[in-house]
Structure 1
C-alpha cells in the first residue's frame, strides 16, 4: 500500500481579520481571501488527500482561526500555528494550544524578526522544551543568514523535531546562477542536515527565483537537498497560494515530480506524503484524513 499523498505546506487567510502585515495590495493576485473551496479542486487534480495548513500571521488568534477551519475541512490533517516564544508564560500558552489535536507544529516567523540571532537566545528554551513535551514540530521559517542561529538552537535541543521551510530560501533570482552563488546556503543546509531530527520541505523555491525560472533553475538546489537530507527527510509542500506569484499549483507539482524522477517509487511516496505523515501526524496520534 502506497503512502498517503500530503501537501505539507499550504495557507488560507481572510484579509479582513487584519493581522497579515505582510499581505499588501502590492502582492496583487494573492491579495484576496483564500479558503478550502479554492484549494480542493487542485488537490483532487493531483490525487492529494490531505494537507498541513500553515500560519500566515503572528497571532494566536489566527492559529485558532485555522484550527477552526481544520475542524470543518476533511482534507486538512493538521495545523502549523504560532505562539509568542518571548512570552513569560509561553509553556502555558503552548499547552493550551496543544489541547487541540489538530495542532501539529508551531512556527515563529523567524525571517521577519530583526535579530538574525534570535533563535540562538537561551531564554527561548521554555518554548522549545514545551514543544518537545507536547509532541509538536518546530517549523523553521529561515533565510540563509538565520542558519547559524538555528544550528545553535539545534545543538541545545537535539531531540526537538524540526522541519526547515522552503529549504531556507536560497536566492535563485540571478539569471546566470553558478554553484558558487549558493556556497553559503549549501554549507548551511549540509550542517542542518547533520542533525538527524531535522527534515526539510521541498517548497517555496519558485518564489525565490526570477519570473522566468525553469526546471534547471531549481535542479542544483534539489540535488543538494537529496544529497544532504536524502529522500527520507524531504517533504513536499506547495506553499499555495503564495506559489502562484511564480507558478500555478500544477506547474510546481509537476516540476517537483520531474526533479525527483531519479528517486525510486518508494522514495517519491515518502517525499509526497509518507514523511509528512510520520513527522506531523504520527507523533500526535493522528492519521491522514
Structure 2
C-alpha cells in the first residue's frame, strides 16, 4: 500500500459564509449547526491536523457579496490559493463586465452558480445561460458544475457537448448514488463515462457522505464509484475537496480524505500528487509559488 507524498495538500472545495453580509436562500434553521457565519479560523486546526496546507474557496451564494467575502478571506490568509466566485451567467453582458474585473485578481480561479438550487433543472441549458457559459469557454475560465444526482449529471453531459472547450469541474463527483438502486448507479456511470470522454472535464472527490452504514454497503459502493472515476478520468483529472462546513452536517472534517486514501490504496506517488494538489493547481491555474509558500 502506497501513501500520499509529504507535500502540500490542496483542499479544492471549501466554503466560508456570513449571513450578516447578504442572503443565502438555502441556509436556515433546518441546518442549525452551520446556520451562522462560518469563517476560516474555525477549520484551520482541522486542516493542519490532516496535512492540508492550502485550499480553494468555492461560492455559496449567487451574489457578488459572497465572492467579495471569499476574496477578502483569501487576501488575509495565504492558505487560500484560489477563489471560485459568482458571475450571473443568465445576464451575459453583466457577467462579462464582472468577469473582466474578477480576472484582474490573481486569486480568482473559476466560476460557479448554484444551479442545483434552481426550480428549473434545465436552467443551465437556457440560451442566455448558454451564452454565459460560452463566455467562460472563450476566456478559459473553469466552471464548477453542481450535479444533485444522475439526471443532473446528464445535464452536465449536455453542457460538455455544447462547450467542448469549457473546463468543467464536476463538484462532488456528480453525486454518485450510495444508497439508491442499481438503475441509478448505471445511469450515473453512463453519464460519467461520457463526461470522462471530454478531455476538459474534471471531477472533485468531495461531498461523499456514507451516513449510518452498519453493513458497510455504502462504503463498498463508494469504493466502486471512486475506482470507476479513477479508471475513466485518471488521477490527472481528479482532485480532493473537503466540503467544509457542509461536511459537518454529516461528519467531522477529514473523513472524505480518509475514505479516498482507504479505497484507493494502490495509487503511486505521482497519482497521489495529482489528486491531492496537482490537478487543482493545473485546472484552476493556481500559482505554484503560492502553494509552496503555504508550507513555508
Instruction: Give the TM-score, by structure 1 length.
Output: 0.90
Mapped pair 1:170 → 2:176: yes
Question: Does structure 2 retain, via aligned residues, the 8 Å contact 1:142–1:168?
Answer: yes
Corresponding residue for 1:124?
Answer: 129
User: 1:159 pairs with 161, 165, 169, which one?
Assistant: 165
Cα offsets for 1:132-191 (capped at 9, x unmatched):
3443211001122223332222222211111100011123244xx6x4441111111111
Mapped pair 1:149 → 2:155: yes
Mapped pair 1:225 → 2:256: no
Cα offsets for 1:212-235 (capped at 9, x unmatched):
375324212212111211211111
Task: State the secondary structure of the residue aligned to 1:281.
Answer: coil
Corresponding residue for 2:59?
Answer: 55
Which 5+ residue runs of structure 2 have no aligned equivalent? none
Question: Does structure 2 retain, via aligned residues, the 8 Å contact 1:70–1:102?
Answer: yes
Task: State the secondary structure of the residue aligned to 1:154.
Answer: helix
User: 2:257 pairs with 253, 260, 279, which one?
Assistant: 253
Question: Does structure 2 retain, via aligned residues, the 8 Å contact 1:202–1:237?
Answer: yes
Mapped pair 1:265 → 2:266: no
Written as runs of structure 1 = structure 2, the 5 A alignment for 1:168-207 is 168-174=174-180, 179-206=182-209
Q: 1:181 to 1:151 in 2, by over 3 A?
A: closer
Q: 1:212 to 1:33 in 2, by over 3 A?
A: farther
Which 5+ residue runs of structure 1 have no aligned equivalent? none
| RMSD, aligned α-carbons | 2.1
Q: Shift of the alpha carbon at 1:125?
A: 4.1
Q: 1:74 to 1:123 in 2, by over 3 A?
A: same
Task: State the secondary structure of the residue aligned to 1:249.
Answer: coil
Cα offsets for 1:1-47 (capped at 9, x unmatched):
97631000011111223411111111122223221211111111122
2:289 and 2:143 map into 1 onto residues whose CA distance is 17
Corresponding residue for 2:33?
Answer: 29
Question: Does structure 2 retain, via aligned residues, the 8 Å contact 1:164–1:198?
Answer: yes
Range moving further from structure 2, 258-267 or 236-245: 258-267
Task: State the secondary structure of the residue aligned to 2:109.
Answer: strand
Mapped pair 1:104 → 2:105: no
2:232 and 2:208 map into 1 onto residues whose CA distance is 17
Corresponding residue for 1:76?
Answer: 80
Q: Shift of the alpha carbon at 1:112?
A: 1.3
Range moving further from structure 2, 159-168 or 94-103: 94-103
Mapped pair 1:17 → 2:18: no
Task: State the secondary structure of the residue aligned to 1:116.
Answer: coil
Instruction: Give the TM-score, by structure 2 length.
Output: 0.88
Task: Count residues in correspondence.
Answer: 283
Question: Does structure 2 retain, via aligned residues, the 8 Å contact 1:55–1:62?
Answer: yes
1:120 and 1:181 map into 2 onto residues whose CA distance is 22
